[in-house]
Structure 1
Amino acid sequence: MYRLIVLALVLLAACAKEPDRRTSFRDRSAQIYSNAVLDPARLTGGWQQVAAFAAEPGGCASGQVQFGAPSAGTIPLEAALCLNGAPQRFRGHAQLAGPGRMVPMGAEANGIGQPWWVLWADVDDRTLVIGTPTGEMGFILNRGGALPPDRLRAARAILDWNGYDLSRLQLF
C-alpha cells in the first residue's frame, strides 16, 4: 500500500510540471540553411515585417527591424516584431555568428534572442526571410512598400524548403 501511495504522489508531481509552451513552426528533422553569400552590410536600413508564424490567428500588428552598419563582428539591431502573436523588442547589437547568421546579444534566448538565420534575400535586397534552427521563430521582412506576389511566393518556397509549416504563416 505504501508503494502505491508513493507511486501515486510521484505520478501526480510529474503531471503538475509546467507544460512547455514553446512552439516550433518547422519540422526540426528537416535541414535548415542560411544564406552563405549574404554581405551583412546589405542589411543596413529599415525593414517592415510583412509576415510571421503564429500558433493562433491574430495577436499583434506588423513590426519593423532597423540594421546599422556592421563593425567588428557585430551589427547594430533594433527590432520591434510580432513573434508567435506577441510583441517582442530588442535594441542593441547582434553578433555575426557565421554566413547569414546573427545572434542578438543579451536578449532572452527563448524569444527574440534566438539565432537569426537569413534563409533568403532577394537579389536586390528588398525582401529577407529569417528563421531559427528551432523553428520557434520565422518571419519575412520587406522594404520599399508592399511585398509583391512573386517575392511572397519565393519567400514561402524558401520557408517550405527549410521545413516550416506554411499553414501557420500569417501575413500582415
Structure 2
Amino acid sequence: MHRLSFQVTAALLMGLTLTACSKPSEVAVGPRDQSVPMSSMAGFDPARFSGRWYEVEAYVPAGASCVMGAVTFSPQKSGDMIVTEGPCADGAPRRGVAMRTGPGRFTFEGDALWVLWVDQSYDAAVIATPTGKAHVLSRALTIPADKRRAARDILTWNGFDISGLTSARRK
C-alpha cells in the first residue's frame, strides 16, 4: 500500500515538475478562451484541400497589415503546403511554406495553423491558430447558410467568441 502511494505521489510530482518546466503557452491575440482545448481535423486530406479558397468571415486583429481575402494551398510530397495569401496592404500576395506538424496542423510564418473543420465536399473550412486568429473559408465568394452555421459551431466548440467575426466584404 505504501509502495503504491509513493508511486502515485512520485508521478504527480514529476508531472508538476514537467509542467513547470514546459515553455509558456502562446499569447492570445484574438477572441478565444485559452482554457478551452482546441482540436484539429484528424482525417484532414491535403490533396482535397488544395486549391483556391476565399475568406468569408474572420477575426481581423487590430493593425493587421494583411487581410487574406483569398488563399491558395498547394500540398507537397513532404506533407507541407505552399500557402499563397493576399492581398496585403502593399498589394503583393504573401507566399510561404506551411510545415506539417501533425494531422491538420501546420506552422506558417512562426504561428501554429490548424484546420479545425472541412465539410464533407471540401467546399467550406475553418482554419485557426491556438492564439485566436481564425478564418472561415469557402471555395466560392459566398457560403451557404448551413455551412456558415456549422463553421460558427466549430469555432464556438473550440473556444472562440463568434460575436467578433467580421464578414468579408466583396465589391
CA positional deviation for 1:69:
2.9
Q: Paired residue for 1:74?
A: 80
- Which of 7, 29, 33 is the aligned partner of 1:23? 29
SS at 1:65 equivalent: strand
Residues 53-132 of structure 1: pairs in structure 2 closer than 5 A:
53-54=59-60, 63-80=69-86, 90-104=94-108, 107=109, 109=110, 114-132=111-129
Aligned CA distance change for structure 1 residues 29 and 156 (closer, same or farther; 3 Å)? same
Identical counterparts, % of pairs: 38
Q: Which runs of 4+ in 1 moved over 6 A?
A: none
User: 2:74 and 2:151 mapped to 1: Cα distance?
Assistant: 23
Q: Paired residue for 2:156?
A: 160
SS at 1:64 equivalent: strand
CA contact (8 A) 2:30 2:59 kept: no
Q: Paired residue for 1:151?
A: 147
CA positional deviation for 1:88:
9.6
Q: TM-score, normalised by structure 1?
A: 0.72
User: 2:29 and 2:102 mapped to 1: Cα distance?
Assistant: 25
Q: TM-score, normalised by structure 2?
A: 0.72
Residue 170 in 1 paired to residue 160 in 2? Answer: no
- Which residue identity is paired with 1:45? G
CA positional deviation for 1:71:
1.5
How big is the alpha-carbon RMSD for the aligned residues of Structure 1 and Structure 2? 2.7
User: 1:81 and 1:22 mapped to 2: Cα distance?
Assistant: 25
Q: Which structure 1 residue ranges, 5 or more long, are not aligned? A: 1-20
User: 1:61 and 1:76 mapped to 2: Cα distance?
Assistant: 18
CA contact (8 A) 2:72 2:83 kept: yes
Residue 46 in 1 paired to residue 52 in 2? Answer: yes
Q: Which structure 2 residue ranges, 5 or more long, are not aligned? A: 1-26
Residue 141 in 1 paired to residue 137 in 2? Answer: yes
SS at 2:99 equivalent: strand
CA contact (8 A) 2:156 2:162 kept: yes
Aligned CA distance change for structure 1 residues 70 and 62 (closer, same or farther; 3 Å)? closer
- Which residue identity is paired with 2:74? G
Q: Paired residue for 1:16?
A: none
CA contact (8 A) 1:55 1:168 kept: no
CA positional deviation for 1:145:
3.9
Task: Report how many aligned residue pairs link the two structures.
Answer: 140
CA contact (8 A) 2:30 2:131 kept: yes
SS at 2:43 equivalent: coil
User: 2:31 and 2:145 mapped to 1: Cα distance?
Assistant: 22
